[in-house]
């Protein structure tokens, strides 16, 4: 680009002599028809390296990136149709139990663990690589284009979408100097050479476009960072109980692939009180309107204890993790005495809701230390008990604890805990086998009432009612980078729509009668703007109105300048075949 046409190199002379020799030899050869046909070389394959290059080019196209982005969205659809193990393992177990034929096939394709599935990870990684291979080279090319000189003026400025011409008494040098001043005042990059001024601005639009795609890459990286080094766990905490951040105290724990148990922060929390507020009138009667948990926490065993009001969308930040409210329920308090009068069990037992509207709940009480036989109970709780319309059964009329009542069904025998086999705390094992129902062992109890089992087997007392809440403990180191990336993506896409690329050329040449002919041409990505008219008015000076833009010829496209180099410059940055300055 820096060499002049007057310089003739030795290589050029040798090439010219070789061409003349070839023409001379061609003149002495026999006609083509008289020559013996030679062997036609067989086409060879592109080879492994060629296939790799072809595959890389296909992967790093924007079309492939859009297809992969669509596949990511499509792959996430099953997570909204089928229950997921990391969010609701009990619902997955129930689905497997209800669909014994379909569930194994769904599990085989990881549709209960969509975001941990190998096929989803493959799509995710391919999307990341595709965007990186597409955007990074484009950003480098855009940076070089921003530092290059503006493109040279085309030969015929009148064929541009916006053009104007006028005559002036100023010398061409003065016109170009004024054009430099005016255009730089409007924040154009200006270059004056060859009797014309070339100006360009609007690179910020392409910069915003690239910022959006780079932010999308950063967002994908942040999500991967959270999945690798973060964790998510669920806990159930009853009023008056405490939780220490250790694996043994989680009801459900989902670690990241690179997370270790030693990475848990040693914080602890205590639930002092939980309150749920409900609508009491109208069609929405019984609908929850607010949840409020009063807790105390420590960042470490020796740290000062602090208080916090945990509410919906108002999580607690402790030990690098966040605690969110998930749900709530009731935990009736029972005291069980065995046949000898000793206390075999005394604690609050969390009950699981059977129906979410009025919180009718069920639970089991196990007393493995009872003598002479172990005792167990199945109970149903009605927070606000009342008779049904047919007066044949009990129902709950309201989710709040206005009149709590429990029904007790008693069992005795071997609970099965001594065998070492793990059991669910919400289910009785061995009923009818090792655990037998107690005859006449059913009773309806209100708070403070006791029931003495037949045969002097023991006594159970309903002491009162507490509430519990379920919480999600979530540590995601990629949360803040993801937030920053999302904000930058929004700013980038907004900038790319608001800023457009503009180019202006001003040529000044000597005309008839000693006057100077000034030609002005403009090219805008998209629709023309009024900025061109303002530039022409500023160039002509005060007292002159901007001439009407000369329309392009009807039979020629308006967006095709006469010269090939200007035609290449008409595209946006990052897509120009030639963005170097012309000399």
* Contact by Cβ (8 Å): 280, 307: no
Structural element, H or E, at residue 305 = none
What is the DSSP code (8-state) at residue 279?
-
| Phi and psi based region of residue 32 (left: phi greater than 0; alpha: psi -120 to 50; beta: remaining) | alpha
Query: Average pLDDT, stretch 13-42?
Result: 48
Examine the domain organization and report whether 78 and 173 are in the same domain.
no
| One domain, residues 186 and 233 | no
CA proximity to 138, closest of 199, 202, 61, 200: 61
Give the pLDDT score at 26.
44
| Residue 539 counted as domain residue | yes
Q: Does 372 sit behind a cis peptide bond, omega within 30 degrees of 0 on the bond before it?
A: yes
Last residue of a domain, one of 147, 166, 193: 147
Angle at 31 between CA 26 and CA 37, to 5 degrees: 105
User: How confident is the model at residue 571, as a pLDDT?
Assistant: 41
Residue 10 has pLDDT above 50, yes or no: no
Distance between CA atoms of 50 and 248, rounded to whole angstroms? 55
Q: What is the pLDDT of residue 90?
A: 72
**Per-residue 3-state assignment (H helix, E strand, C coil) for 427-458:** CCCCECCCEEEEEEEEEEECCCCEEECHHHCE
Q: Quick one: average pLDDT of 537-565? A: 53
Query: Would residue 9 count as lying in a domain?
Result: no
Least confident segment among 42-46, 301-305, 361-365, 545-549:
545-549
| 114 pLDDT higher than 60 | yes
From 25-29, 73-77, 375-379, the region with the lowest mean pLDDT? 25-29
Q: Is residue 541's pLDDT more than 50?
A: yes
Burial class for 569, CB neighbours closer than 10 Å (0-12, 13-18, 19+): buried
DSSP state, residue 391: S
| Bridge partners, residue 189, by sequence | 200
Residue with tokens 């805990």: 417
One domain, residues 305 and 352: no
pLDDT over 60 at 289, yes or no: yes
Which tens digits make up the pLDDT trace of 509-531? Answer: 988 888 999 999 998 887 788 88
- DSSP H or E segment with residue 67: helix 62-75
pLDDT of residue 519: 93
248 with 368, same domain: the answer is: no
The secondary structure of residue 171, as a DSSP letter, is -
DSSP state of 156: -
Query: Residue 398 has which token pair?
Result: 């309201």
Range of the domain at 93: 35-147
For residue 41, what pLDDT is reported?
Answer: 65
Does residue 12 form part of some domain?
A: no
Kindly state whether residues 291 and 167 are assigned to the same domain. Answer: no
Q: What is the pLDDT of residue 19?
A: 42
pLDDT at 431: 87
Q: What is the pLDDT of residue 544?
A: 54
**CA-CA distance, 232 to 86, in Å (whole number)?**
8
Instruction: Tell me which residue of 417, 321, 305, 400 sits closest to 360, measured CA to CA.
Output: 400
Average pLDDT of span 24-47: 56
pLDDT at 115 over 60: yes
Parallel, antiparallel, or unpaired: how do β-strands 306-311 and 316-318 relate?
A: unpaired
Claim to verify: residue 529 and residue 554 sit in the same structural domain: yes
Three-point CA angle 218, 223, 227, nearest 5°: 145
Q: Are residues 263 and 353 in the same domain?
A: no
pLDDT at 18: 45
Beta strands in 450-536 (DSSP E): 450-452, 458-475, 502-510, 516-524
Q: Are residue 103 and residue 128 in the same domain, yes or no?
A: yes
In this structure, is residue 1 part of a structural domain? no
Kindly state the tokens that stand for 99.
């669909």
Axis-axis angle for helices 118-147, 203-229 (nearest 10): 150
User: How much is the pLDDT for 447?
Assistant: 94
Residue 547 lies inside a defined structural domain of this protein = yes
Q: How far apart are CA 567 and CA 156, in angstroms?
A: 12
Question: Is the pLDDT score of 559 beyond 50?
Answer: no
Nearest CA to 145 out of 583, 576, 582 is that of 576
Question: Within a domain: residue 580?
Answer: no
At 252-263, the pLDDT tens digits run 888 887 887 777
Would strands 502-510 and 516-524 be described as parallel, antiparallel, or unpaired? antiparallel
pLDDT at residue 570, rounded to an integer: 39
CA-nearest of 203, 201, 156, 198 to 581 is: 198
**What is the pLDDT of the chain when averaged over all its residues?**
83
Average pLDDT, integer, range 229-251: 91
Instruction: Give per-residue burial for 85-108: e unless 16+ CB within 10 Å, then b.
Output: bbeebeebeebbeeeeeebeebbe
pLDDT of residue 451: 95
Q: What percent of the chain has pLDDT over 90?
A: 38
| CA distances for 385 relative to 251, 329, 333, 404, 451, angstroms | 30, 16, 17, 6, 19
CATH number for the domain that contains residue 517: 3.30.310.80
In a domain, 16, yes or no: no
Do 337 and 321 share a domain, yes or no? no
The closest of 434, 453, 441 to 337, measured between CA atoms, is: 453
Token pair 């002479």: residue: 372
What lies within 8 Å, CB to CB, of 370 at 6+ separation is: 336, 338, 339, 344, 345, 458
What radius of gyration do the chain's Cα atoms show? 40
pLDDT value, residue 42: 61
**What pLDDT is attached to residue 569?**
40
- pLDDT score for 563: 38
Structure-token pair, residue 19: 């061409």
Same domain, 263 and 348: no
56 in a domain, yes or no?
A: yes
User: How many domains does the chain contain in total?
Assistant: 4
Q: Regarding predicted confidence, which is higher, 273 or 579?
A: 273
* 374 and 461 co-located in one domain: yes
In this structure, are 343 and 451 located in the same domain?
yes
SS3 call for 319: coil
- pLDDT tens for 417-445 read 877 777 888 888 888 888 999 999 999 99
Q: CB of 493 within 8 A of CB of 352?
A: no
Q: Is the pLDDT of residue 381 over 60?
A: yes
């Amino acid at each position: 680009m820096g060499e002049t046409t007057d310089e003739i190199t030795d290589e050029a002379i040798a090439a010219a002599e070789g061409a003349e020799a070839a023409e001379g030899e061609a003149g002495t050869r026999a006609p083509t028809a008289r020559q013996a046909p030679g062997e036609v070389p067989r086409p060879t394959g592109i080879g492994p390296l060629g296939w790799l290059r072809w595959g890389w080019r296909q992967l790093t196209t924007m079309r492939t990136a859009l297809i992969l982005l669509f596949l990511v969205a499509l792959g996430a659809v099953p997570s909204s149709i089928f229950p997921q193990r990391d969010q609701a393992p009990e619902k997955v177990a129930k689905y497997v139990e209800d669909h014994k034929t379909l569930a194994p096939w769904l599990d085989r394709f990881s549709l209960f663990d969509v975001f941990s599935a190998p096929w989803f990870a493959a799509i995710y990684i391919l999307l990341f690589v595709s965007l990186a291979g597409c955007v990074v080279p484009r950003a480098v090319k855009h940076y070089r284009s921003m530092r290059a000189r503006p493109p040279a003026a085309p030969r015929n400025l009148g064929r541009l979408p916006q053009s104007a011409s006028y005559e002036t008494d100023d010398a061409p040098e003065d016109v170009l100097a004024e054009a430099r001043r005016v255009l730089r005042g409007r924040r154009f990059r200006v270059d004056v050479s060859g009797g014309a001024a070339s100006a360009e601005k609007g690179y910020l639009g392409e910069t915003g476009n690239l910022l959006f795609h780079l932010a999308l890459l950063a967002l994908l990286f942040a999500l991967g960072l959270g999945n690798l080094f973060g964790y998510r766990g669920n806990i159930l905490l009853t009023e008056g109980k405490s939780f220490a951040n250790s694996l043994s105290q989680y009801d459900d724990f989902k670690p990241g692939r690179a997370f270790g148990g030693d990475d848990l922060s040693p914080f602890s929390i205590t639930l002092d009180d939980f309150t749920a507020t409900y609508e009491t009138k109208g069609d929405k009667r019984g609908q929850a309107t607010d949840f409020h948990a009063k807790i105390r926490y420590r960042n470490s065993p020796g740290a000062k204890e602090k208080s916090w009001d945990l509410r919906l969308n108002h999580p607690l930040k402790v030990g690098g993790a966040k605690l969110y409210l998930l749900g709530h329920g009731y935990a009736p308090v029972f005291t069980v005495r065995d046949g000898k009068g000793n206390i075999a069990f005394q604690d609050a037992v969390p009950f699981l809701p059977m129906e979410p509207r009025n919180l009718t709940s069920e639970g089991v009480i196990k007393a493995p230390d009872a003598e002479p036989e172990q005792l167990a109970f199945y109970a149903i709780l009605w927070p606000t008990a009342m008779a049904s319309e047919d007066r044949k059964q009990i129902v709950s009329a309201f989710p709040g604890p206005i009149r709590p009542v429990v029904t007790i069904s008693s069992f005795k025998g071997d609970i099965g805990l001594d065998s070492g086999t793990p059991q669910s705390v919400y289910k009785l094992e061995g009923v009818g086998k090792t655990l037998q129902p107690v005859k006449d062992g059913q009773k309806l109890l209100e708070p403070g009432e006791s029931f003495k089992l037949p045969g002097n087997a023991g006594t159970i007392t309903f002491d009162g009612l507490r509430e519990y809440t379920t919480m999600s403990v979530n540590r995601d180191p990629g949360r803040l980078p993801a937030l920053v990336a999302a904000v930058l993506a929004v700013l980038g896409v907004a900038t790319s729509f608001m800023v457009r690329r503009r180019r202006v050329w001003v040529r000044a040449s000597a005309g008839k009668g000693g006057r100077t002919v000034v030609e002005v041409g403009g090219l805008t990505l998209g629709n023309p703007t009024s900025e061109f008219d303002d530039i022409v008015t500023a160039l002509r000076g005060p007292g002159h109105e901007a001439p009407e833009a000369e329309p392009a010829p009807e039979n020629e496209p308006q967006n095709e300048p006469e010269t090939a180099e200007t035609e290449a410059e008409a595209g946006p940055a990052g897509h120009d075949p030639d963005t170097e300055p012309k000399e």
